Amino acid sequence: MWGQKWMPGLTAAVILALAPATGAPAQGAPLTQQELADRAAIQDLLTRYYNNFGGNIESSLGDYYAEDGEMILGPRSYKGIEAIKGAYAAVPADAPQRKAFALNILISNMLVTVRGDTATARLVFTETTTEKEGEAPRLLVQGREFDHLVKRNGRWLIAKRQIMGPKGVPEGWQD
């Protein structure tokens, strides 16, 4: 009986707790068919990029990066495909990602914003390694990625990729 007496108050509390703090809508205007196609192409590009880790990604960077693309990893910046290849090649052979039986990188919470022939994407990545066949994977690192993309000759490519720790956003970042 007391549950019926408290139910309206509890319902109101739950509704208020779940309501946004501002009057701003959670979603923007409906997307056009082209915007949906572009978002899907960008999501596919980034998923395929991460799917190739551990499989000689250096040899296919031109499939993902613009020729003048840039990768920022912490305080270091690598400009152009050859410089980015060099960054991957410089990872020591005894690094956990290289010496493990398997490296898998999970990507989640991807947010893609398309503006004509440019776009931004942000995501969370989680690296796991399996040391030996049959062992359980272990969490190696988790971080955030912020990308600027360009559409050239009908293909989406990474113009700038910034990799950060698990918190924060690059200075001046706008989705």
Q: Average pLDDT of 81-109?
A: 91
CATH fold of 31-164 reads Nuclear Transport Factor 2; Chain: A, (3.10.450)
Tell me the percentage of the chain whose pLDDT exceeds 90: 65
Nearest in space to 96 (alpha carbons), one of 50, 144, 143, 140: 140
The CA angle 114-31-39, to the nearest 5 degrees, is 40
This prediction's pTM? 0.81
Could you report the per-residue pLDDT of 120-167, keeping only the tens digit for each?
A: 999 999 999 999 999 999 999 999 999 999 999 999 999 999 999 999
Q: What residue ranges do the domains of the chain occupy?
A: 31-164
- How many angstroms separate the CA atoms of 48 and 167, rounded? 24
pLDDT by residue (tens digit) across 11-23? 444 443 444 443 3
Residue 52: CB atoms within 10 A of its CB come to: 17
